[in-house]
Amino acid sequence: MADTVKGDLWKALKHPRARPWLTVAATMPASVGTHALWGSSPAAGVGLTLAAGLLTASAWWAGDGTTKARRLHATLSTAAGTSYMVVATVTDPLDPFLASTWAIGGAVAAGGWNIRQALRANPDAKTGEQAAGETGLLVKSLGKAKLALRGEPKVEPNKVTAPYKITDPGALTSAEIGRRIENIAGELGISANAIRNVMNTENAAEGEFVFVPKDMLAGGVPYPGPSSPGGCITEPIVNGIYEDGEPERFWYPADETTRRNATHFGVFGMNGSAKSTGTVYALIEVLTRYNAIVWGGDPAKGMQTFGPLLPYMDWVEITQAGCEAMVDALPHVITARADELGRHGFKNWTPEAFRKLGMPYMVVVLEESAKLFRNGSELEPVVEAARSAGISVEVSQQRPSATSMPTDVREQLGGVRCYGVKGATTADMALPDDVRDAGARPEAWENRKPGYHYLVAPGVDEERYSMKARHWDPITDDEIRQVLERYAVHTPAGTTTTVAAGEAYANRAIYTPGQSLTSINPKETVMSKQDAEREEEIRLERQVERDIVAAVGDDDGTPEPAVDPDAEIPPVAKPWKFPNQLPVQGDDRSPEEALAELLAMLAELRAEGRETVGPKDFAPYGKGTRIGRARSWISGKLTALADEGVYLEETDEVGVYKLLDPELTPV
- Looking at the structure, do residues 335 and 353 belong to the same domain, yes or no? yes
- Looking at the structure, do residues 104 and 23 belong to the same domain, yes or no? yes
- Of all residues in the chain, the percent with pLDDT exceeding 90 is 29
**Counting beta carbons within 10 angstroms of the beta carbon of residue 561, is it exposed (0 to 12), middle (13 to 18) or buried (19 or more)?**
exposed
Span 189-209, mean pLDDT? 78
Span 558-573, mean pLDDT? 49
The residue that leads in pLDDT, 5 or 596, is 596
Where does a domain end: 194, 211, 228? 211
- Looking at the structure, do residues 565 and 456 belong to the same domain, yes or no? no
* Weakest mean pLDDT among 316-330, 506-520, 544-558, 614-628: 544-558
Examine the pLDDT at 587 and tell me if it is beyond 60: no
Q: How far apart are CA 602 and CA 615, in angstroms?
A: 11
The residue that leads in pLDDT, 256 or 667, is 256
- How far is the CA of 21 from the CAs of 24, 25, 104, in angstroms? 5, 6, 12
Angle, CA of 549, 550 and 554, to the nearest 5°: 40
Under the banding of pLDDT at 50, 70 and 90, the label for residue 198 is confident
12 contacts 5 by C-beta, under 8 angstroms? no
CATH number at 607 reads 1.10.10
- How far is the CA of 543 from the CAs of 440, 531, 643, in angstroms? 39, 19, 30
Q: How far apart are CA 230 and CA 210, in angstroms?
A: 38
CATH number at 193 reads 3.30.1360
What is the tens place of the pLDDT at every residue in 268-295? 999 999 999 999 999 999 999 999 999 9
Report helix, strand and coil shares of the chain as percent, to nearest 5.
50, 10, 40
Under the banding of pLDDT at 50, 70 and 90, the label for residue 210 is confident
Span 98-108, mean pLDDT? 76
Under the banding of pLDDT at 50, 70 and 90, the label for residue 222 is very high
The pLDDT, as a whole number, for residue 6 is 65
The pLDDT, as a whole number, for residue 524 is 38
**Counting beta carbons within 10 angstroms of the beta carbon of residue 407, is it exposed (0 to 12), middle (13 to 18) or buried (19 or more)?**
exposed
520 lies in a domain? no
- Looking at the structure, do residues 147 and 171 belong to the same domain, yes or no? yes
512 lies in a domain? no
The pLDDT, as a whole number, for residue 122 is 46
Q: How far apart are CA 610 and CA 618, in angstroms?
A: 14
The pLDDT, as a whole number, for residue 55 is 79
What is the tens place of the pLDDT at every residue in 406-436? 888 888 899 999 999 998 899 999 999 989 9
Element (H, E) at 550: helix 529-552
* Weakest mean pLDDT among 199-208, 233-242, 378-387: 199-208
Span 242-260, mean pLDDT? 91
- Looking at the structure, do residues 101 and 165 belong to the same domain, yes or no? no
- Looking at the structure, do residues 113 and 133 belong to the same domain, yes or no? no
230 lies in a domain? no
209 contacts 220 by C-beta, under 8 angstroms? no
* Weakest mean pLDDT among 7-21, 23-37, 101-115, 383-397: 7-21
533 lies in a domain? no
- Looking at the structure, do residues 265 and 402 belong to the same domain, yes or no? yes
Examine the pLDDT at 256 and tell me if it is beyond 80: yes
- Of all residues in the chain, the percent with pLDDT exceeding 70 is 79
The residue that leads in pLDDT, 258 or 178, is 258
* Amino acid letter, residue 653: E
Examine the pLDDT at 263 and tell me if it is beyond 80: yes
Under the banding of pLDDT at 50, 70 and 90, the label for residue 32 is confident
The total number of structural domains in the chain stands at: 4
Examine the pLDDT at 440 and tell me if it is beyond 50: yes
165 lies in a domain? yes
* Amino acid letter, residue 148: A
554 lies in a domain? no
Under the banding of pLDDT at 50, 70 and 90, the label for residue 475 is very high
Residue 180 belongs to domain spanning: 128-211
The pLDDT, as a whole number, for residue 476 is 93
Examine the pLDDT at 321 and tell me if it is beyond 60: yes
- Looking at the structure, do residues 318 and 451 belong to the same domain, yes or no? yes
Q: What is the DSSP letter of 354?
A: H
Examine the pLDDT at 10 and tell me if it is beyond 80: no
Instruction: Evaluate the CA torsion angle 513, 516, 519, 521 in order and state its sign.
Output: positive
542 lies in a domain? no
Q: How far apart are CA 348 and CA 338, in angstroms?
A: 8
569 lies in a domain? yes
210 contacts 195 by C-beta, under 8 angstroms? yes
- CA 208 to chain centroid, in Å, comes to 21
Q: How far apart are CA 632 and CA 468, in angstroms?
A: 53
Where does a domain end: 90, 120, 150? 120
The pLDDT, as a whole number, for residue 379 is 81
3-state secondary structure of 448: coil
In sequence order, what are the residues at sequence separation of 6 or more whose Cβ sits closer than 8 angstroms to the Cβ of residue 364? Answer: 294, 295, 296, 297, 326, 330, 386, 391, 392, 393, 394
Q: How far apart are CA 263 and CA 260, in angstroms?
A: 9
Q: pLDDT averaged over the chain? A: 79
Q: Return the beta strands (E) in 60-168 as ranges.
A: 147-149, 154-156, 159-166
- Looking at the structure, do residues 245 and 320 belong to the same domain, yes or no? yes
Examine the pLDDT at 495 and tell me if it is beyond 70: yes
Angle, CA of 489, 494 and 495, to the nearest 5°: 160
Element (H, E) at 62: helix 42-62
Nearest to 339 by CA among 526, 175, 499, 558: 499
- Looking at the structure, do residues 388 and 478 belong to the same domain, yes or no? yes
In sequence order, what are the residues at sequence separation of 6 or more whose Cβ sits closer than 8 angstroms to the Cβ of residue 618? Answer: 598, 601, 627, 631, 634
Between β-strands 265-268 and 657-659, what pairing exists: parallel, antiparallel or unpaired?
unpaired
First-to-last C-alpha distance (Å) of the chain: 113
The pLDDT, as a whole number, for residue 128 is 37
Examine the pLDDT at 69 and tell me if it is beyond 80: no
**Counting beta carbons within 10 angstroms of the beta carbon of residue 456, is it exposed (0 to 12), middle (13 to 18) or buried (19 or more)?**
buried
Number of Cα atoms under 13 Å in the Cβ half of residue 39: 13
The pLDDT, as a whole number, for residue 517 is 52
Q: How far apart are CA 650 and CA 497, in angstroms?
A: 39
Alpha helices in 224-318 (DSSP H): 275-287, 302-306
Q: Return the beta strands (E) in 457-586 as ranges.
A: 469-470
* Weakest mean pLDDT among 199-213, 240-254, 338-352, 465-479: 199-213
Where does a domain end: 465, 484, 507? 507
* Weakest mean pLDDT among 264-278, 366-380, 548-562: 548-562
CATH number at 453 reads 3.40.50.300
pTM of the model: 0.57
In sequence order, what are the residues at sequence separation of 6 or more whose Cβ sits closer than 8 angstroms to the Cβ of residue 183? Answer: 140, 141, 142
Examine the pLDDT at 228 and tell me if it is beyond 90: yes
- Looking at the structure, do residues 306 and 419 belong to the same domain, yes or no? yes
Angle, CA of 663, 666 and 667, to the nearest 5°: 100
- Looking at the structure, do residues 139 and 89 belong to the same domain, yes or no? no
* Weakest mean pLDDT among 392-401, 448-457, 622-631: 622-631
Helices and strands per DSSP (H, E), number in the chain: 23, 18
Examine the pLDDT at 215 and tell me if it is beyond 50: yes
Q: Return the beta strands (E) in 64-205 as ranges.
A: 147-149, 154-156, 159-166, 195-199
The pLDDT, as a whole number, for residue 180 is 77
The pLDDT, as a whole number, for residue 403 is 77
